[in-house]
Structure 1
């Protein structure tokens, strides 16, 4: 048997939530099959099996939060393999009798041996605990039939709920159930004090694991990373014309370059000129990154994710455009792979499409900087002594002062602005 452990599916993941078990207990599993969908700090991701066999145990239930490395299930060589609970750390009680295959092999013998009325299980048997004794198959069938397994009386050994009990409950309770233990006298409790009405008519919403991690990491970033901010507004007339020319040339291919694609490529170009910005401060060590991997912030229903364009400096504008759209689509569908969200050395966050003039972005550790991009605006400016209307974009660079000095960040932003104002430099 092989234990399935909660994997590390992103570089910042510390725990995961079991979103959906794709394979159920007793199902045959082939290497490469999706076993379970796991909600990480960035997205809901599929976890695949690495070997053939049968899923013989789900150690945790859907919705449970599990630390990395904890056992979430067991794969066996046959569907009737019975795993033990040693070291599993799971939330399910040990299976004390055969599961799916065992129940199918000897249901008649079990029914003949069992008396018509089985005694109620004792506390030591685990029958009156918060979760009844059940076989994996019984739990699976109860879910499929839409039955509340806690309301079904078990007729198996020690009051265990078996498949026959589930089938009987589905058919209207044809199978005689064991009598329940006499209920303890209900204690009268004091009435609860009415909740304070603050006048806001509030409702507590379910918080996704992605949202929890976003909150934690942003708090950590602001508390542990000494930010400083550099602002500059660029003249975007040449950039707008350059984009129009490129898209006209690419019209026959179906590709289309966005302003954000141009900005991402310009950032990669500027990072080559200023490698001191392409660094990270980690555990009192300054790391110089040889590769330039630009992350692009994408808003999704669960929050914000940052897929990474690896080796952005080597990619063409068409490649950046195509890859960005692919990753954004995967992000919205929750299908990003760990390697598609890891290894960033710099990030770009663009809220221009929402009409935001400018904003301050929070650094995504361990990166040393992030560029915030505002909307393109037509503004009156003085050119050669005359007031004219020009397209302009506001940029703001957030920088980790531990890794990058102010003058270094300012020089980077200066060259970035000049590259965007002379956009041929983006592709040269």
Structure 2
């Protein structure tokens, strides 16, 4: 009996996704564990493996199709011993008949009862470029993104990966070629209905770029956060000289191990220890309940090509700063390659966002629901600062905590900011 291949749920919260790329075609034989497709969720592009053996008889959802619901049938697999040519595509809520549609049409007329309607197919994107005779180009998501950025024609690139798959190194080694014409336009396409005011260009040359699934999710979640979460902001100025001195000494000691601490690594530890010291801030608002956490899992904002992702350092308060540094380098690297597993970026008890490397002096971050706080870190800079009742020059940064006022009172938020400031200014507590 033919098997329905359905859109998988690649994370606990996934409801729909984009079928970014098919790595098999009709007629291909697959075994359990073979990679069949690449699915784009709201945070990453992940590989979808086969769980059954057989031959691809039909592909019902074309690659590039957005908004494919979890559980929707995307392909039909013929089992061992079945002829794929004799298999009809399985429809929602039903199974494929053994005979082909043409043969069924030649048989006696069917009863007048109307068949169950099939769901309308989602709009399909243009098919992927072909290497030869209709064969699909097999390339990793990262390789495709780099090829698009560099204008590399993937059909002219020879893959060095498994089964000839094109990987990052193949694209970087290839000479740039003119990219295919994009769907971007310098002027809006004519439309029967008037465009909304915000979409009109008023004659200004522009490009219309389609939003990625990640950007749509960011827009939706942060809009909900600002509309539904009552934010309260608390800012403190923190002297960094002692922390920078300790970082320099630790890096000298850790250099033989190939570890180099960043200021951010130390701030992750400081926030985690502050949350444990002030547990009233290590909470989440959950309707008629308040969730209180016994450990601090810190979500760290990482900028990537399509937007922002927040990989999590679990139980950061109990980890050595060297472990946090090693873990963050690994998480950030895989985040930029779209290779994080859902459990590595979903969850967390609080967040940290550092924009100091861009020279931003101070900012107020938007809370990432369902979390109840986020710490925004500005740049460390030389400022006039009163030390021992004397005006001196010190390296100072501004840190702003954004708190969900439904879950965290202002006084408790102030205690957290005080604990954070004290840890950063007397940083030996971070290595105790």
Deviates more, 1:356-365 or 1:278-287: 278-287
1:75 — aligned with what? 77
- TM-aligned CA distance change 1:263 to 1:62, over 3 Å: same
* Alpha-carbon distance in 1 for matches of 2:246, 2:93: 60
- TM-aligned CA distance change 1:261 to 1:192, over 3 Å: closer
Question: Which of residues 216, 229, 232 in structure 2 aligns to 1:228?
Answer: 232
Deviates more, 1:46-55 or 1:248-257: 46-55
- TM-aligned CA distance change 1:413 to 1:20, over 3 Å: same
* Alpha-carbon distance in 2 for matches of 1:38, 1:337: 13
- TM-aligned CA distance change 1:64 to 1:192, over 3 Å: closer
Map 1:12-411 onto structure 2 (within 5 A).
12-65=13-66, 66-78=68-80, 80-81=83-84, 82-87=87-92, 97=100, 143-144=134-135, 198-411=202-415
- TM-aligned CA distance change 1:395 to 1:28, over 3 Å: same
Runs of 5+ unmatched residues, structure 2: 102-120, 123-129, 138-190
Shift of 1:417: 0.9
Asked if the contact 1:25–1:140 (Cα under 8 Å) also holds between the matched residues in 2, the reply is: no
* Alpha-carbon distance in 2 for matches of 1:425, 1:83: 67
* TM-score, with structure 2 as normaliser: 0.73
- TM-aligned CA distance change 1:95 to 1:197, over 3 Å: farther
Asked if the contact 2:276–2:294 (Cα under 8 Å) also holds between the matched residues in 1, the reply is: no
Asked if the contact 1:24–1:140 (Cα under 8 Å) also holds between the matched residues in 2, the reply is: no
Deviates more, 1:30-39 or 1:238-247: 30-39
Deviations 1:34-79 (A, max 9, x none): 2211111112122222333333332211111212222222333237
Asked if the contact 2:243–2:424 (Cα under 8 Å) also holds between the matched residues in 1, the reply is: yes
Shift of 1:94: 9.7
* Alpha-carbon distance in 1 for matches of 2:26, 2:131: 7
Shift of 1:207: 1.2
1:171 — aligned with what? none
- TM-aligned CA distance change 1:61 to 1:231, over 3 Å: same
* Alpha-carbon distance in 2 for matches of 1:68, 1:12: 10
* Alpha-carbon distance in 2 for matches of 1:96, 1:304: 49
Asked if the contact 1:234–1:394 (Cα under 8 Å) also holds between the matched residues in 2, the reply is: yes
* Alpha-carbon distance in 1 for matches of 2:98, 2:410: 62
- TM-aligned CA distance change 1:411 to 1:77, over 3 Å: same
2:156 — aligned with what? none
Asked if the contact 1:359–1:372 (Cα under 8 Å) also holds between the matched residues in 2, the reply is: yes
Shift of 1:395: 0.4
- TM-aligned CA distance change 1:61 to 1:279, over 3 Å: same
Deviations 1:231-273 (A, max 9, x none): 1110000000010011000111111110000000111111111
- TM-aligned CA distance change 1:404 to 1:194, over 3 Å: closer
Deviates more, 1:2-11 or 1:304-313: 2-11
2:9 — aligned with what? 8
* Alpha-carbon distance in 2 for matches of 1:413, 1:202: 44
* TM-score, with structure 1 as normaliser: 0.74
Deviations 1:146-205 (A, max 9, x none): 9xxxxxxxxxxxxxxxxxxxxxxxxxxxxxxxxxxxxxxxxxxxx989997613212211
Instruction: Please tell me the root mean square deviation across aligned C-alpha atoms, in Å.
Output: 3.1
* Alpha-carbon distance in 1 for matches of 2:201, 2:359: 37
* Alpha-carbon distance in 2 for matches of 1:372, 1:145: 45
* Alpha-carbon distance in 2 for matches of 1:342, 1:12: 9
- TM-aligned CA distance change 1:351 to 1:404, over 3 Å: same
- TM-aligned CA distance change 1:202 to 1:58, over 3 Å: same
Asked if the contact 1:59–1:72 (Cα under 8 Å) also holds between the matched residues in 2, the reply is: yes
2:148 — aligned with what? none
* Alpha-carbon distance in 2 for matches of 1:295, 1:223: 22
Instruction: State the secondary structure of the residue aligned to 1:336.
Output: coil
